[in-house]
Amino acid sequence: MLDKVEVRHVPSEPSLQMTHTSIGEGKVSIVIPCHNQGTKLREAVASIEQVRNANLLEVIVVDDGSSDVKTRKILDELEQDGHYVLPEPNRGLGAARNAGIRRAKGEFILPLGSDNRLRDAYLNEVQESFTLMLNISATELAGRTYKSSTYCQ
């Protein structure tokens, strides 16, 4: 049997700590993992810029250990244009997405594949849906049930 248990606190690296905005601001962080898909990534970011609005807080591009010269160049260009590019070793899509989520500051996270595009009004719809879900969850947690044919079919 153990007589004594030692508890140690090991602080996380700053890059692994989550940061966020205040609840209720409704800002969206878009996280895009990318591994050697520079051309598609450029198109994805361009589609975001076309629909950018006040709901978008940030775009985080996670470089999942890209080795392709063209992709590296595109990542450098995105960074020079003011986008946040997070370099990571190649550990796969899930690990890259999680690294970006840990860095995100938005109240809501929108994972986007490097080969996806956003359409007009999507950011508004996502923010409204997330806010609605947050409000429904908060109501249910308070011990009340919220049901409405307006939002549920």
User: Hey, where are the domains in the chain?
Assistant: 24-141
Mean pLDDT of 8-20: 42
Exposed/middle/buried for residue 107 (C-beta within 10 Å: 0-12, 13-18, 19+): buried
Question: Which of 66, 48, 69 is closest to 57 using CA atoms?
Answer: 48
- Which of residues 100 and 10 earns the better pLDDT score? 100
Residue-wise pLDDT tens digits, 29-57: 999 999 999 999 999 999 999 988 888 89
Q: Which CATH number fits domain 24-141: 3.40.80.10, 1.10.3720.10, 3.40.50.450, 3.90.550.10?
A: 3.90.550.10
Mean pLDDT of 112-133: 78
Global model pTM greater than 0.75? no
Per DSSP, 33 falls in state E
Question: Which of 60, 122, 124, 127 is closest to 97 using CA atoms?
Answer: 60
138: enclosing H helix or E strand: helix 122-141
The fraction of the chain above a pLDDT of 90, given in percent, is: 51
